[in-house]
Structure 1
């Protein structure tokens, strides 16, 4: 008589159970658990849950869940780190990363540069409940739209950034009450946003961090903008309604930008044109105090009188003066005014301030005694005149009053660029900005930082908890004694 263990049904169900419990081993590995506090599990489809522990492999398709007093730090293969907050669930829906695609160009054996296809990499995560604190790695920087987080309320498009996201029910309102803090007004750090872009445009921060600009992308004080190639250009709209169309093969830096809607005369706007061309339309700062707005080059400064104009800086005018002018562009500094007037002021007092009026074109190089008026206007180039584009400042920069106890999806950006989308409605978020979407509601930017986000006591993923004894003590008070798996 066969034993129970050898019974065909027993063997069948045992094999089925073994297959279900180990099927995750054949899935695509995407990262690992870097730290766990408390308890949590990772589960692949219908396989048996795996307890979260330091070093646990996470695969594509896993759902990572944490307990009410637990959190975990997930590190993905591209360097992205996420703190999965207490009582949260995150699914790794898709993750494809090719490190060789991390840069847009590569050099072949013969020294020629070839473009790389970043489209092979993608990241789609699903925040099912709870929240995340995220610092992204290489993948979102490879191409616009390569990474996103889906939630039941809206989609978070990631452009290479540092941000938090919370799906709030009544828990966030309870935290607001428990924290007993006053919410602060949002301090607008974004100076401008992209309203039109063609080709490749790179930005380098004052800290030397490079990023690709995308439609809706933010620009900050100190950023160096570079349009790469003969077909690339970008149009920027600023908070005071100033606008810049930056021509191909151009480098410029936003040196100063200060604007308060209540005090536009106290604003300041200074652009350093290092090489190339731009088309400018001044805004409210220039109308209130024209002396506070200027375009600076190596050889001269263009003072504004409330105006629209084109300027091209080549050869001796450029910061890298040894670089020859672009094809078809004149040597030196050339300015054409199509609205109002500008004043050309030499950097080294070679001539008296020179006024260029509407309809006039002037050229100057150091070998000239005085700027010379030209009979023909400066060619418009690739970029459009900025006054020809529709711009909605409220959509680009507007803040709205909001009840921070309301359920919904909240996103706060510490650095970079996030796009919050519900249906066909989108809101771009930059450093220091908050986004909110409720069920059936249009995405908006609240004018105050919700208390539960500003004073979040769950650590960011770049904090090394195991080496920070004081932080461990704080976490013990917040969440209770540790019971993590290692």
Structure 2
């Protein structure tokens, strides 16, 4: 065989060996560390025997972490993600990359439970973090959540007599039903996150759209709002009460751009509590469909300024400024121009409103039951449970999915293929004695309360020693 032929024959082998070495190098790179371990905690790497670990030990991609019957651990990953592993938990870091432009992570919960606080990966690439457990996959959009794979242990924990706590269960007032193009949610503190179908919204947040984009927001009372391109729509004071979400307040603001709205149950039962703010004007809604948009209003040649235009395509509205009120009947358009103090009906609807490409919400079907429907369990049977403390997760079964926002919990029964949103927050998740990882302080943790909730000191004296 000639030297050239030998080199050709060896080339594929060299590439294969290089790829294998690169893969092994990726698995050998630390992705985090154990920040606390009580009891027996072990780590097993691919192709190696399990070994016991302690505080400060490094974790690699591919590691499988296990805790004992009375043990628990807290781990920290390089992107700032922190995870508490409860007793009898087996959890693996299947994939982890936090390099710029390559942010992704995939975890697997084999058994037990975790409490998690996500870091930069979920912020920079909200579609890039997943947790697999049993027959489910969870798309983690941040920020704080708990997951438990329950056998009989979860129901048994309810007998422990722990201090009862709770999360507000009515924080999510709306969801993004459609997101086309660039859609962003701005929190009350100014932090932004990408929005997609199912993204939960809470009071004080805003929805922003980019050029050529639009979003459709579905509210608990069945109000539907299309946020047009290059717009910002803020939930200023929105809160629903009552079993049907037909009471409360609905005060929103169009900060810029425009919106197309079809009001829901609250506008029918308490119309005085429904308002759309634009500049210093208020659109008083009486159960209706409207387009409300900012545009150029000219009172004479070369005398133009931004005005707030409102067109009514169902019902009627009043455009109110100070003590003045302009009734806008069906099919009519009104304008408020603050520069020229103009509040009047216009002869023709402006062309930019006629040409608006974003769809009217009355023509869009929205599955409100999937977005907001809840299921009440009889007890707490075996299966997979999740609760969101802050942020958003998508809970996927093999045949369907639900979105969970702050204060919401979900459940996938063993043998079922579609998760459900729960009417009641599972007490064993709410009152979990094991620490939230972002609040954990090993100097102040009281192990007796954690390891033996509701018991006496003598129950654990041998094990604690």
Question: Which category of TM-score, normalised to the shorter sequence, fits these structures?
Answer: 0.7 to 0.9
Kept in 1: contact 2:62–2:94 (CA 8 A)? yes
CA distance, structure 2, for counterparts of residue 50 and residue 475 of structure 1: 25
Partner of 1:390: 365
Q: For 1:405, what is the secondary structure of its paired residue? A: coil
TM-score, structure 2 normalization: 0.86
1:299-448, aligned counterparts within 5 Å?
299-314=280-295, 331-346=306-321, 348-349=322-323, 352-366=324-338, 367-376=340-349, 378-379=353-354, 381-441=356-416, 442-448=418-424
Kept in 2: contact 1:37–1:483 (CA 8 A)? no
CA distance, structure 2, for counterparts of residue 124 and residue 263 of structure 1: 38
1:47 aligns with 2:48: yes
CA offset at residue 77 of structure 1?
Answer: 1.2
Kept in 2: contact 1:237–1:391 (CA 8 A)? yes
CA distance, structure 2, for counterparts of residue 148 and residue 481 of structure 1: 39
1:285 aligns with 2:258: no
Kept in 1: contact 2:162–2:431 (CA 8 A)? no
Q: For 2:439, what is the secondary structure of its paired residue? A: coil
Kept in 1: contact 2:332–2:345 (CA 8 A)? no
Partner of 2:136: 154
CA offset at residue 477 of structure 1?
Answer: 4.5
Structure 2 gap segments, 5+ residues each: 1-23, 298-303, 454-458
Partner of 1:17: none
CA distance, structure 2, for counterparts of residue 483 and residue 77 of structure 1: 33
Partner of 2:32: 31
CA distance, structure 2, for counterparts of residue 356 and residue 414 of structure 1: 43
CA distance, structure 1, for counterparts of residue 186 and residue 211 of structure 2: 20
CA distance, structure 2, for counterparts of residue 460 and residue 48 of structure 1: 30
Partner of 1:108: none
CA distance, structure 1, for counterparts of residue 224 and residue 286 of structure 2: 15
Partner of 1:16: none
CA distance, structure 1, for counterparts of residue 412 and residue 263 of structure 2: 33
Partner of 2:434: 458
Partner of 2:149: 167
CA offset at residue 80 of structure 1?
Answer: 0.7
Q: For 2:123, what is the secondary structure of its paired residue? A: helix
Alignment counterpart, residue 204 of structure 1, candidates 173, 182, 186: 186
Partner of 2:119: 137
Q: Deviations over 1:286-332 (max 9, x none)?
A: 0111111010122211000110011112579xxxxxxxxxxxx9831
Partner of 1:214: 196
Partner of 2:252: 271
CA distance, structure 1, for counterparts of residue 296 and residue 207 of structure 2: 19
Kept in 2: contact 1:279–1:386 (CA 8 A)? yes
CA distance, structure 2, for counterparts of residue 206 and residue 29 of structure 1: 36
CA offset at residue 439 of structure 1?
Answer: 2.1
Alignment counterpart, residue 219 of structure 2, candidates 238, 254, 257: 238
CA distance, structure 1, for counterparts of residue 336 and residue 181 of structure 2: 30
Q: Deviations over 1:116-140 (max 9, x none)?
A: xxxx221111100000000111101
CA distance, structure 2, for counterparts of residue 162 and residue 74 of structure 1: 15
Larger strand proportion of the pair: 2
Structure 1, 133-142 or 24-33: larger mean CA deviation? 24-33
Between the two proteins, the alignment pairs up a number of residues equal to 426
Q: Deviations over 1:148-188 (max 9, x none)?
A: 10011211110122100000011111112233788979722
TM-score, structure 1 normalization: 0.82
CA distance, structure 2, for counterparts of residue 356 and residue 145 of structure 1: 44
Q: For 2:420, what is the secondary structure of its paired residue? A: coil
CA offset at residue 24 of structure 1?
Answer: 8.7
CA offset at residue 364 of structure 1?
Answer: 2.3
Change (3 A) 1:284 1:88: same
Q: For 1:267, what is the secondary structure of its paired residue? A: strand
Q: For 2:425, what is the secondary structure of its paired residue? A: coil
Q: Deviations over 1:378-436 (max 9, x none)?
A: 23524211111111211111111103420000001001111111113001100001100
CA offset at residue 44 of structure 1?
Answer: 0.7
